[in-house]
């Protein structure tokens, strides 16, 4: 019945019949509150009524409804994870509209609220990666597993009691039983209290798990306290009709704008820019400097003066921007269409790093300590995908008709990466590691990764394909492709999934992913998959990820990575982002490597500054 009321409300809303639309939405709220209590279903009904009130010109009523829905979701964050950022488009649009006509104090408060809202919800790919990581980690730790299952059981008991009470209260008055209602109310109250207590206990006893599954949004003041001098955090959230851009500086200031660029339009621009760094044809493509400048103007033009004193910009992107290194943006009109050395690249003026979420800044700055690893480097690369042709595993030969699964035959279709062997050898030599720390070919397997005591190494490198969810049939989370193990019941198809990565024990200053391609399958953008891998490596214990967005020829790759690591080793106080920046600028100064296909592929994801 609640959905019926909501559908009728939508019909009236589209006809701009706001009176009947409001009545139907209110009926849905009352019914859903009775049947389901506070949670996602009721929050969505409140959000619908908020949309109706906004379009009816009742801004304050709409704002009150949005706030009710937000608080409800923040208090029951398991439901929040099921929503997507675009579900809050109406809320953000309303907050910015009200801020435009507010006094300074009220405007700042409204924009700060918008900044918090911009952190709610998650995209399907990222959400799926976190869900699978959480499930696998819970299964591996009996204490976490038991606490999570107990919480899930209590949640079900609460939902059952709420639903039964709603059914009882929806009966005709003469058929209702006051005694039964009291019993159900007691059951509901008890289950609700137990759920809150168990959730608090779970988050207190297992804080790392809690931060993974229930991150709490930060306001601008909290972010500012975490920033260092000459740092700023940039949050960009594309929406259905516009994009919202927030800039928080260490002095506590928050600036925010609405960019007239929808998620669809932004995706189209990013795809056009990515054509200019796609070297698969064997020819050096033309990169569109003018478009890179136009995109900078659309997203950051109004905020450009506030960046004048910034030396390190921490970017928290979303949507298509996850597949575009921010270093590619151009601040000034290009003097010539293809003069890449003279272009005013953003990287010329400041170091850049990315974070998968705003709250990740708190996790790095307050929780990450210095690495105690004593060995410099270990690398895995040049996997033997063709080994999958040798013979099917016993499991695969009998898999017909079973559940969807990835076989070694799927892995065998991946392109070989012979050049990565020399890349890793060069890295090892530069970093003073022995040849035994370079694991190649048939030895580059999931089992060898898991058996390598990775916590002993400051730099862990994977020179192989990073696959995105959906890039192979049955691949439901991002993964690194390694050598499959065939001929035995190992169940090892060669994929090191994000959930498996999260189980690794790392103490790394860097994880290097040097053969990633965030263009995704069929040239669709897949930066969310890289974000999922980053989250997994951070959970495992890495402080930073240096990852490529497209494949680059070996020579500039070796130059950039070795110069970055060496610069950070010599002057760690300057930070990882500055070390990468200096290596990128050195490549730009070389005429043969000034094209961004050579120097812009790598981005730093994670903590830039050295651990205290």
Amino acid 124: pLDDT: 47
Between helices 419-430 and 554-570, what is the axis angle to 10°?
A: 20
In order of 91, 301, 366, 596, the CA distances from 222 in angstroms are: 22, 26, 12, 35
Question: pLDDT band at residue 397, thresholds of 50, 70 and 90?
Answer: very low
Q: Which residues of 103-162 form beta strands (DSSP E)?
A: none
Question: pLDDT band at residue 400, thresholds of 50, 70 and 90?
Answer: very low
pLDDT in tens, 88-139: 999 999 999 999 999 999 999 999 999 999 998 765 455 455 555 555 556 6
* Average pLDDT, integer, range 164-178: 80
First to last CA, the chain: 57
Amino acid 401: pLDDT: 41
Amino acid 238: pLDDT: 95
Amino acid 170: pLDDT: 72
pTM for the predicted model, two decimal places: 0.87
Please give the Cα distance from 155 to 545 (Å, whole number).
36
82 φ, ψ (degrees, to nearest 5): -85, -10
Task: Tell me the percentage of the chain whose pLDDT exceeds 70.
Answer: 88
Please give the Cα distance from 356 to 367 (Å, whole number).
16
pLDDT exceeds 60 at position 490: no
Q: Average the pLDDT over each of 60-64, 69-73, 127-131, 536-540 and give the range with the smallest value.
A: 127-131
Q: Average the pLDDT over each of 15-19, 273-277, 298-302, 465-469 and give the range with the smallest value.
A: 465-469
* Average pLDDT, integer, range 303-321: 96
Amino acid 524: pLDDT: 57
Between helices 40-55 and 89-100, what is the axis angle to 10°?
A: 40
Nearest Cα neighbor of 380 from 460, 445, 462 is 462
Amino acid 127: pLDDT: 45
Here the tokens at position 553 are: 């020829």
Amino acid 373: pLDDT: 92
Strand partners for 513: 462, 547
55 or 414, which is more confident: 55
% helix, strand, coil for the chain, step of 5: 55, 10, 35
Query: How many alpha carbons fall within 13 Å on the CB side of residue 61?
Result: 13
DSSP three-state, residue 19: helix
Q: Which residues of 457-601 form beta strands (DSSP E)?
A: 457-463, 466-467, 479-481, 495-497, 510-513, 544-548
In order of 148, 197, 209, 243, 528, the CA distances from 205 in angstroms are: 12, 12, 9, 38, 30
Cβ(138)–Cβ(209) below 8 Å: yes
pLDDT in tens, 494-528: 999 988 998 899 999 999 998 777 655 444 566 77
Question: pLDDT band at residue 489, thresholds of 50, 70 and 90?
Answer: very low
Please give the Cα distance from 315 to 312 (Å, whole number).
10
pLDDT exceeds 50 at position 394: no
Indicate if the alpha-carbon torsion angle 440, 446, 450, 455 is positive or negative: positive
Amino acid 122: pLDDT: 66
Spatial CB neighbours of 159, under 8 Å, sequence gap ≥ 6: 36, 37, 39
383 φ, ψ (degrees, to nearest 5): -65, 155
- Mean pLDDT value across the chain: 87
Q: Average the pLDDT over each of 30-44, 135-149, 191-205, 371-385 and give the range with the smallest value.
A: 135-149
Amino acid 462: pLDDT: 96
Cβ(382)–Cβ(421) below 8 Å: yes
How many Cβ atoms are within 10 Å of 9's Cβ, its own excluded? 26
What is the DSSP code string of 511-532?
EEE-S--TT-GGG---HHHHHH
Nearest Cα neighbor of 7 from 200, 21, 312 is 21
In order of 250, 312, 361, the CA distances from 224 in angstroms are: 5, 14, 10
Nearest Cα neighbor of 373 from 504, 505, 508, 501 is 508
* Burial class of residue 505, CB neighbours in 10 A (0-12, 13-18, 19+): exposed
Amino acid 250: pLDDT: 96
Please give the Cα distance from 217 to 228 (Å, whole number).
20
* Average pLDDT, integer, range 413-440: 92
What is the DSSP code string of 51-92?
HHHHHTT-HHHHHHHHHHHHHHHHHSHHHHTTS-GGGGHHHH
Please give the Cα distance from 18 to 37 (Å, whole number).
26
Amino acid 585: pLDDT: 98
* Average pLDDT, integer, range 277-292: 92
What is the DSSP code string of 180-235?
HHHHHHHHHHHHHHHHHHHHHHHHHH-HHHHHHHSPPP--HHHHHHHPPTTEEEEE
Strand partners for 160: none
pLDDT in tens, 7-54: 999 999 999 999 999 999 999 999 888 877 787 889 999 999 999 999
Here the tokens at position 581 are: 């920046």
148 or 339, which is more confident: 339
Please give the Cα distance from 568 to 574 (Å, whole number).
7
113 or 190, which is more confident: 113
CA angle 380, 385, 387 (to 5 degrees): 115
The H-assigned helical ranges of 276-310 are 289-300
Cβ(192)–Cβ(185) below 8 Å: no
255 φ, ψ (degrees, to nearest 5): -115, 145
123 or 302, which is more confident: 302
pLDDT exceeds 50 at position 571: yes
């Amino acid at each position: 019945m609640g959905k019926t009321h909501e559908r009728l409300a939508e019909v009236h809303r589209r006809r701009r019949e706001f009176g009947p639309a409001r009545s139907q939405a209110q009926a849905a709220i009352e019914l859903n509150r009775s049947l389901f209590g506070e949670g996602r279903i009721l929050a969505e009904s409140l959000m619908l009524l908020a949309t109706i009130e906004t379009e009816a010109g009742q801004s304050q009523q709409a704002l009150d409804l949005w706030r009710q829905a937000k608080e409800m979701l923040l208090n029951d964050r398991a439901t929040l994870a099921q929503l997507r950022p675009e579900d809050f488009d109406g809320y953000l649009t309303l907050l910015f509209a009200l801020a435009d006509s507010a006094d300074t104090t009220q405007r700042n408060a409204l924009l700060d609220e918008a900044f918090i809202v911009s952190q709610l919800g998650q995209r399907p790919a990222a959400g799926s990666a976190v869900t699978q990581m959480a499930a696998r980690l819970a299964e591996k730790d009996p204490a976490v597993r038991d606490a999570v299952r107990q919480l899930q059981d209590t949640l079900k008991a609460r939902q059952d009691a709420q639903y039964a009470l709603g059914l009882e209260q929806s009966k005709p008055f003469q058929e209702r039983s006051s005694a039964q209602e009291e019993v159900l109310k007691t059951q509901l109250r008890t289950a609700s209290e137990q759920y809150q207590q168990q959730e608090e206990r779970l988050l207190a006893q297992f804080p790392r798990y809690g931060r993974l599954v229930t991150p709490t949004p930060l306001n601008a003041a909290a972010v500012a306290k975490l920033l260092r001098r000459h740092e700023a955090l940039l949050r960009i959230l594309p929406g259905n009709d516009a994009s919202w851009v927030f800039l928080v500086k260490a002095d506590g200031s928050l600036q925010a704008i609405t960019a007239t660029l929808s998620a669809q339009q932004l995706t189209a621009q990013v795809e056009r820019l990515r054509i200019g760094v796609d070297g698969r044809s064997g020819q050096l493509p033309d990169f569109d400097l003018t478009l890179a400048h136009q995109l900078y103007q659309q997203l950051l033009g109004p905020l450009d003066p506030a960046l004048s004193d910034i030396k390190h910009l921490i970017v928290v992107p979303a949507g298509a921007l996850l597949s575009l290194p921010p270093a590619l943006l151009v601040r000034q009109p290009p003097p010539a269409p293809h003069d890449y050395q003279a272009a005013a690249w953003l990287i010329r003026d400041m170091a850049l790093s990315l974070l998968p979420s705003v709250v990740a800044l708190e996790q790095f700055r307050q929780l990450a300590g210095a690495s105690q690893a004593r060995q410099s480097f270990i690398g895995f690369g040049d996997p033997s995908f063709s080994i999958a042709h040798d013979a099917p595993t016993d499991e695969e030969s009998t898999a017909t008709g079973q559940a969807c699964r990835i076989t070694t035959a799927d892995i065998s279709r991946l392109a070989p990466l012979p050049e990565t062997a020399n890349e890793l050898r060069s890295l090892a030599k530069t970093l003073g590691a022995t040849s035994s720390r370079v694991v190649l070919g048939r030895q580059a397997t999931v089992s060898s990764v898991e058996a390598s005591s990775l916590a002993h190494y400051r730099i862990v490198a994977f020179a192989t394909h990073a696959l995105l969810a959906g890039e192979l049939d049955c691949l439901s989370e991002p993964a690194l492709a390694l050598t499959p193990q065939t001929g035995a019941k190992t169940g090892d198809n060669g994929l090191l999934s994000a959930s498996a990565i999260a189980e690794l024990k790392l103490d790394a200053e860097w994880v290097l992913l040097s053969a990633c391609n965030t263009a995704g399958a069929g040239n669709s953008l897949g930066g969310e998959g890289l974000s999922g891998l980053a989250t997994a490596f951070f959970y495992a214990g890495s402080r930073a990820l240096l990852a490529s967005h497209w494949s680059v020829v070996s020579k500039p790759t070796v130059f950039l990575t070795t110069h970055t690591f060496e610069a950070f080793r010599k002057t760690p106080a300057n930070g990882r982002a500055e070390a990468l920046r200096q290596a990128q600028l050195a490549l730009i100064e070389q005429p043969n490597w000034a094209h961004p296909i050579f120097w812009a592929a790598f981005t730093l994801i994670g903590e830039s500054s050295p651990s205290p």
